Amino acid sequence: MNSGLFAFFLPVALAIMMTGLGLELTVKDFLRIQRHPKVIFLALFAQLIILVLIAFLICILLKLPPLLAVGLMLLAASPGGPTANLISYLFKGDVALNITLTAINSLICTFTLPFIVNLSIHYFLGDHAKIGMPAEKITQVFLIVFIPVCLGMLIRSIAPNLALKLNRPMRLFSVLFLFLIFFYAIYRERFNIVEYFADIGFATALFCFISLSVGYLIPHMAGISDKQARACTFEIGIHNTSVAMTIALSVLSSTTIALPAGIYSIFMYIFAFIFGYILTRRPRLPKEENSAVMND
């Protein structure tokens, strides 16, 4: 595929995918924060602050190449993936909480993601780096993420039957879109992929394991019910890699920056299913069962 055509297609495809996410959201999803403020605060704090700091430490300690370091920071700054809702459902998490977190974090990240990526570019690539994220690029990210989500919510509000019919095709499109941009990034870097996997493979696997662990342990230690802790596990561990790869390819124009998200997408589903299996097989304590009943 022609690179210019692909660069045009990527933002359009992402906007369509974000519209699909909006079709699953309502204003009530945002209002639900009043019922569970503690768990929502902990999950957002872990996702927006702790994971970004952990990603930065991994970049420093493992001495990642500058472009791959920016890619890992972009991944860490990306919101949770819509597929976290499905995996949470499969492993008996609080899906309503997942939807709330996805909704809130998707909006917050339209502001925090450009800020974190811009700082990462300046830190790892220097002030005179060729890759930048000027005001028009920040606006582009905002337009292709925030506006389509609002559009999807509007469609659901005025035409719920249409939104229901579009839901499945939109999910399928998101999956195909993820595979497409992943293989495109791999193809563009096919001659360097082995070297890049050696450079970033361990870092992404480590970041994935830590993301899932932090997602469960912080709510669990704070006394949150096991069902909600599971929801946090997948919401925090399942990053929206398609958003990260799209921004890397279309906004930052770098297939190298897209690689950490692409490789992470391999590890996150494998690790998520392992974590889910372990959590569902772990015997629940009476305290956790009582807490789950109270939260329901």
What is the per-residue pLDDT across 29-49, written as a single tens digit (0 to 9) for each?
A: 667 666 778 888 899 999 899
Determine the average pLDDT of the residues in 186-198.
71
Determine the average pLDDT of the residues in 224-230.
87
Question: Hey, what are 43's tokens?
Answer: 């999950």
- Between 37-41, 88-92, 150-154, 208-212, the lowest mean confidence (pLDDT) is in 88-92
Question: Hey, what are 138's tokens?
Answer: 């920040």
- Give the pLDDT band (50/70/90) at residue 5: low
Determine the average pLDDT of the residues in 67-94.
82
Phi, psi dihedral angles at 118 (to 5 degrees): -65, -40
Question: What integer pLDDT is reported at residue 133 of this predicted model?
Answer: 45
How many helices and strands, by DSSP H and E, does the chain display? 14, 0
- Give the pLDDT band (50/70/90) at residue 289: very low
Q: Is the pLDDT of residue 203 over 70?
A: yes
pLDDT over 90, % of the chain? 15
Q: What is the Cα–Cα distance from 25 to 28, expressed in whole angstroms?
A: 8
pLDDT over 70, % of the chain? 77
Determine the average pLDDT of the residues in 216-234.
89
Between 82 and 284, the more confident residue is 82
- Give the pLDDT band (50/70/90) at residue 138: low
Buried b (16+ CB within 10 A) or exposed e, 258-289: bbbbbbbbbbbeebbeebbeebeeeeeeeebe
Between 148 and 49, the more confident residue is 49
Determine the average pLDDT of the residues in 246-254.
79
What's the full length of the chain, in residues? 296
Determine the average pLDDT of the residues in 217-232.
88
Q: Is the pLDDT of residue 80 over 80?
A: no
- Give the pLDDT band (50/70/90) at residue 254: confident
- Give the pLDDT band (50/70/90) at residue 251: confident
Q: Is the pLDDT of residue 26 over 50?
A: yes
Determine the average pLDDT of the residues in 272-293.
66
- Give the pLDDT band (50/70/90) at residue 214: very high
Q: What is the Cα–Cα distance from 252 to 225, expressed in whole angstroms?
A: 40
Determine the average pLDDT of the residues in 232-238.
89
* Neighbouring-strand partners of residue 239: 80
